[in-house]
Chain A
Amino acid sequence: MTALLSAEGVVKSFGPTRVLAGIALSIAPGEPVGLFGPNGSGKTTLVNILSGLLLPDAGAVRFEGREITRLPLDARYRMGIARTFQIPHPYPALSVREAVGVALAAGAGNRTGEGGDREEGEGPEEDLLARTGLFNQRFVPCARLSQGCLRRLEFARALACRPKLLILDEIFSALSAADEGDLTALLRAENRDGGTAFLLVSHNPPLLKSLCRRILVLEEGRIVRERAVL
């Protein structure tokens, strides 16, 4: 089977510091994969390269067999690779509904045949906001959201393009138990029902074991272990 996303020989240095030293990984369609590693091991750099925010110094990234190494972040999103940020950067002047609307506009070509039980005047924004638990906050400016709601908004934004692959950078860190429970259930549902693959970066091994089929361990810029979760 063709890998959904693959990386070969990815190298990245910042000045004299080599952050990634030849990363090779592969994610199958619909596969939930975890990425674990200590601080400074290069997790966020790897995520930035896989999502198109950074260019590697060497190596290649492929998505559905197509080389996308130099494809920027926005084009990868429209292809179906969505990422979230460890620290959300919300649009301060936009409401929650508008923020999701911006992402929906970019991925509108991928959402034919959606409907559900919408009320009059409601659009795909409301569906997405209801699924992520933000429906009642839809007119609140993003600048006024709590940390938990910002993470939910990140999730809603990522789901707006109907992604084939979600890259989630520490999305569960510093969340309340309720928020973590909701987002965990949502991620499971996306993976199970929507067939969405994900690469989940986390410092929390029990969480990774509960959500992922395979866990990659990154240390000093190399994948040193790969564990299958039974």
Chain B
Amino acid sequence: MRGSFPFRAAKVSLRGGTPPARSPWRGGGWPAAGIGLLLLFPLSSPDAFLLDVFTTGFLLAAFAASWDVVGGVSGQITLGHALPFGVAAYACALLTTLAGWPLPLAVAAAVLLAAAAGLGIGALSAPLAGPFVALLTLALGEIAHEAAVGHTFFSGPGGYAWGGEGGIPVALPWRDAAPFPSYYAALAFLCLASFGMLRFSRSGAGLILRAVEGSPITALASGVPVARFKRMAFAVGSAFAGAAGAGFVVHVGRATATDLSLELSFQAATFAAVGGRGTIVGPVVAALVLHVLFRALSLPPSARVLLYALTLLVVLRFFPGGVAGTARDLASRRAGKEGGRPPRPGGRNRNGDEAP
């Protein structure tokens, strides 16, 4: 089978390529401490507003991490990542309200639809590179946004008209979601989704995506079907974005055109740039911190957008690797790596040099 790409083999043969520097994000200590604090936070009797800020923050953090799968790990800078998020949100609303599907089935279908949308975007953008990917995804996202703003759905002859600016409600099996269960459900979703995305980014497929990001031509010359892996990145990232979108719409109870907006796509890209592209955990932390900080300050939306833009400018100028990238560089310098892991004492040095 010389002609086909043995994808399964990659998972086995690529393990163990860990660089010697220990990144603070690689250990489980920091994330575990953060999750512990978030688990205990509701016990401090916060008000419902703050719990809501955190709940939406968890869902946005998962969304930012899903952007990182596409834009960070595989380097396909997308400015239309709200599209799979919004597709899932609208699918959830339409399937429960108009088609009468049970919520779990609607959520599953919404996630699949988002993945399919990602696959389509990936197929269109695979032959493109760099800014053209950003332009294409921006255009696709805006088309979806305008369609959502302009389209009206009817519940039947003489029935309700939904859609447009007002959006579409979701038929939920409960009347009013209690803040505490919503908070913990969103936190559990964030942990599971982040774990899944981290596993993916550190798998054989993730390594090949990082190779594609680093040098597509060398990846091609190494036998990697680059277009297929780009489509895969879009599909996987969009599936997680769709899951976040479904969770979001279940939390707020209504799908609106804002779920497909450029502002949301831009927000995800900002979170990833600030946290550190390609690290998954960095964008999660950045999304949580920035969202909670800016919402807790009760800033108007226009001021929040300005602050996001300023934060992005400062980070790109002074910390191009984001917080996680800068921390990793500092750790590498501290470790003083001078040419990689030294040969084991007494062990054989296969370059033919003497081991110390």
Binding site for B on A (CB under 8 A): 51, 53, 72-75, 77-80, 82-83, 85, 88-95, 97-99, 101-110, 121, 123-126, 129-130, 133-142, 157, 160-161
Contact = CB atoms under 8 A, between A and B. Distances in A.
Interface of B: 1-6, 9-10, 13-14, 16-20, 204, 207-208, 210-211, 213-215, 217-226, 278, 339-341, 343, 349-353
Given A94-B207, A98-B17, A135-B350, A161 B221 contact: no
A173 to B, nearest CB: 18
B129 to A, nearest CB: 13
B350 A126 contact: yes
Given A97-B17, A98-B17, A108-B10, A91 B340 contact: no
**Secondary structure at chain B's binding surface: helix, strand, loop or mixed?**
loop
Given A90-B218, A91-B211, A139-B340, A101 B9 contact: no
A95 B19 contact: yes
A133 B219 CA distance: 22
Nearest to B352: A133
28 contacts: A53-B220, A74-B219, A78-B5, A80-B2, A89-B215, A89-B217, A90-B215, A91-B215, A94-B207, A94-B214, A95-B17, A95-B340, A101-B17, A102-B207, A102-B208, A104-B13, A105-B9, A109-B6, A121-B16, A123-B16, A133-B351, A136-B343, A136-B349, A136-B353, A137-B340, A139-B19, A140-B340, A141-B19
B2 A123 contact: no
Nearest to A80: B2
A160 B14 CA distance: 13
Given A101-B207, A102-B211, A89 B1 contact: no
Contacts of A95: 17, 19, 340
Contacts of B226: 74
Given A74-B223, A93-B210, A79 B2 contact: yes
Contact of A91 (B4, B14, B20, B210): B210
Given A94-B210, A101-B207, A136-B351, A157 B218 contact: yes
A78 B4 contact: yes
Contacts of A123: 13, 16
